[in-house]
Amino acid sequence: MPSDSAPLGTPSKVTQGSPGSPAQGGIGESTLRPDGTLKVTGEFAYSSDLWHEDMLWGQILRSTVAHAEIVSIDTGEALAQPGVHAVMTYDDLPTEVRNYGLEVQDTPVLAHGKVRHHGEPVAIVAADHPETARRAAAKIKVEYRELPVITDEASATAPGAVLVHENRADHHIGHVPHPNILHRQPIIRGDADEAARRAAVIVKGEYHFGMQDQAFLGPESGLAVPEEDGGVHLYIATQWLHSDLRQIAPVLGLPENKVRMTLAGVGGAFGGREDLSMQIHACLLALRTGRPVKIVYNRFESFFGHVHRHPARLYYEHGATSEGKLTHVKCRIVLDGGAYASASPAVVGNASSLGIGPYAVDDVDIEAIALYTNNPPCGAMRGFGAVQACFAYEAQMDKVARRLGMDPVAFRKLNAMEQGTVMPTGQPVDSPAPVAELLRRVEAMPLPPERQWESSEGVDVRQLPGGLSNTSHGEGVVRGVGYAVGIKNVGFSEGFDDYSTARVRMEVVGGEPVAVVHTAMAEVGQGGVTVHAQIARTELGVARVTIHPADTRVGSAGSTSASRQTYVTGGAVKNSCELVREKVLDLGRRRFGTHHPAWAAAELLLEGGKVVTDGGEVLADLVDVLGDEAVEVEAEWRHRPTEPFDPRTGQGNGHVQYSFAAHRAVVEVDTELGLVKVIELACAQDVGKALNPLSVVGQIQGGTAQGLGIAVMEEIIVDPKTAKVRNPSFTDYLIPTILDTPTIPVDVLELADDHAPYGLRGVGEAPTLSSTPAVLAAIRDATGLELNRTPVRPEHLTGTA
């Protein structure tokens, strides 16, 4: 029975700003989150909190093997279970569109004849209790005939290798050397071989970056509610509503206007919600049963239910003159994309175009590829592509400096790019690039005291490696300090039409002018809603701003990823506010233009609820100008266009903006047990303009901690023989706790990018880049070990690996 009643947990408008108060809370202030109160009282409804009175629970059956033909599926016993309302397999899909994907539609909604990775969805069940659904799914009998697994570059390109995808027709197949290579991007500039002859030292290195999980705390979840008109309303945690919509509707056989989407509360994302997870499955079950269907992954399933950060093998050669100038860089970056394409092409683009880091080098020879394998699919995660490269090129920079006998920071500063530097892609950097300054700042911060674990009351073991495990009282503990700096592109690159849409409405409510901001931006925790309200206050001079829930009744906002939302949706909100302001002023001119000549002549502003001249003279109250009218604008806004990279040379103006951060890590290592404690992880970052300084620092600290995680603890372990995931739980996949995370002092630099709204720079990803190599450099400094892989484990430090 279709139901039009909204579920419990449907998001509502949030209004911020006290009536009658002056218009505080504009850009540049540390305004507090509009959803903060709801989040601390437990009232904020996440996608897993949604509830509908007649809802069913959905469950996905996933493959237990990585690569196999499906011989048979028997759903009979599952369907016969009391409380089970539907069981669906590939054969039950309603249309001929049975695959989805961000760029390449290679991902089956449900497996058809074959599974390509461990944990691939095979069947779905709806039942009246989540445990009933789980038990029913377990009664579905799937017979597999196992195939050999492709797990790395060697097995992918070996003669006679099994193809992960046969009959590829995607637009990358024409430029890759093997069908198990999804995408390849070379970047050639100058003549690296010729330049190498000028080098006094040449350093080669091979590096391995482990598979990292986003590990957002709110699991994949949502509620699909069938509607009277045969459509469906999906309440969902995602990073990009309209991208989901574009992929969901064709599979359901519905026009996009019959698939309504509302953003439910999102418990973190970090790239892991860019791809679809349970969206289509919940909708299919809802349309099949006619009942609302809720699906919530548990943590085990979450590890299989979203893409991860690409593990990578990176091969580098750096050369430098005896004076310490880089002569050339050659590198080859092999990213494991796993079984499906996801965001791999963009990851390849980032890894290659940013592959030498924030340094000025004229002669480069770069190649990045992404493999198709039977490992878990990999895609977007904070800093995608740039993170893996930064780990390797920064290790190389330290090695070259050591060979030259130079200080590693001085060597970096000597080679640091700056505004005007030409990137390996031939694109000049046309806004501030304060790489040397960030290094100078982070180096200038005071160091934590030596033997910081000693206090007047003796040794505090909590401050030592091993902590309360009481493994050391300081014996065998040595300190190391390491530095790193990185470069990340902001926004979608390579010619993508990267736009956002904002609807802004201004009207008088309760005797006060109020701005309502409606976008489809996914608030995933970053504070976009805070910033939108701040922009509206600054541009429209109102105190009260109402944030409308994000949904598909307004145009696309693009993805909450690539550090782009404050830039692009922030830019769209600013633009729509400016258009609203013009309309309001037109209204004022019509109503009051004859009262004062300044209406016609002067530059007029909206401030403190009034129309004022640029000289500060008050012309009218907004309440009087607006009267009973509401002024509303919905408009798209775009940043400067970018270009694709040339497929052979990698040349092209592919990026719109860069973001830079530098870290200094201080670690203490128990060299006997191989235990590492990071004592401090200082960061300096240029943010262009901090629209909300409190949130900016929060982003930098959070990104820094994720970089720390992949340095010393986090890694999804995939069995190289079976391609099965060995540690899909928070017991076995460790993310940093408050005991593992040190103090993170932050120095924020604000050098405006004149091309961007308010001069701002995207901030979210850059701190995730340099954090990891800084920690590795510090551990190398403490131990003298080479450490060419991350994360570092105790066995790598004790020689027992």
Quote the CA–CA distance of 354 and 487 in Å, as a whole number.
7
- Per rule CB under 8 A, count of chain residues that contact other proteins: 74
Closer CB to other proteins, residue 185 or residue 214? Answer: 214
State in angstroms the smallest separation of the CB of 52 from other proteins.
12
Closer CB to other proteins, residue 30 or residue 788? Answer: 30
Cβ pair 387, 312 in contact under 8 A: no
DSSP 619-675: EEEHHHHHTT--EEEEEEEE-----PPPTTT--S---SEEEEEEEEEEEEEETTTTE
Rounded to 10°, the helix 344-353/386-404 angle is 20
Q: Which parts of 422-461 interact with other proteins (CB under 8 A)?
A: 460
Q: Confirm or reject binding of residue 469 to other proteins (CB under 8 A).
A: no
Report the residue from 22, 76, 129, 617 that binds other proteins according to the rule CB under 8 A.
Answer: 129
Q: Which residues contact 35 (CB under 8 A, 6 or more apart)?
A: 14, 44, 523, 529
Q: Confirm or reject binding of residue 704 to other proteins (CB under 8 A).
A: yes
The stretch among 183-191, 268-276, 386-394, 753-761 that binds other proteins (CB under 8 A) is 268-276
Residue 443's SS3 state is helix
State in angstroms the smallest separation of the CB of 136 from other proteins.
15
State in angstroms the smallest separation of the CB of 400 from other proteins.
31
Q: Which two tokens stand for residue 674?
A: 């191989």
State in angstroms the smallest separation of the CB of 33 from other proteins.
5
Which amino acid would we find at residue 415? N
Q: Which parts of 635-694 interact with other proteins (CB under 8 A)?
A: 694
Closer CB to other proteins, residue 72 or residue 737? Answer: 737
Q: Which parts of 508-527 interact with other proteins (CB under 8 A)?
A: 524-527
Q: What DSSP character marks residue 800?
A: -
Q: Which parts of 529-558 interact with other proteins (CB under 8 A)?
A: 530
Q: Which parts of 202-231 interact with other proteins (CB under 8 A)?
A: 214-219
Q: Which parts of 130-159 interact with other proteins (CB under 8 A)?
A: 131
The DSSP bridge pattern shows strands 512-518 and 544-547 to be: parallel
Residue 798, phi-psi category: left (phi > 0), alpha (psi -120 to 50), beta (remainder): alpha
Closer CB to other proteins, residue 37 or residue 321? Answer: 37
Q: What DSSP character marks residue 138?
A: H
Q: Which parts of 283-302 interact with other proteins (CB under 8 A)?
A: 296, 298-299
Report the residue from 329, 705, 749, 775 that binds other proteins according to the rule CB under 8 A.
Answer: 705
Residues paired with residue 669 on neighbouring β-strands, in sequence order: 478, 676
The stretch among 29-37, 187-195, 550-558, 653-661 that binds other proteins (CB under 8 A) is 29-37
Cβ pair 85, 56 in contact under 8 A: yes
Burial class (CB in 10 A: 0-12, 13-18, 19+), 256: middle
Q: Confirm or reject binding of residue 378 to other proteins (CB under 8 A).
A: no
Q: Confirm or reject binding of residue 167 to other proteins (CB under 8 A).
A: no
Q: Quickly list H helices, 713-793.
A: 766-783
Q: Which two tokens stand for residue 357?
A: 């880091």
Q: Confirm or reject binding of residue 34 to other proteins (CB under 8 A).
A: yes
State in angstroms the smallest separation of the CB of 506 from other proteins.
18
State in angstroms the smallest separation of the CB of 106 from other proteins.
29
Cβ pair 482, 664 in contact under 8 A: yes
Closer CB to other proteins, residue 167 or residue 731? Answer: 731
Closer CB to other proteins, residue 262 or residue 493? Answer: 262
Report the residue from 675, 744, 769, 797 that binds other proteins according to the rule CB under 8 A.
Answer: 744
Cβ pair 63, 118 in contact under 8 A: yes
Binding map of other proteins across residues 45-84, x = CB under 8 A, - = no contact: xx-xx-x---------------------------------
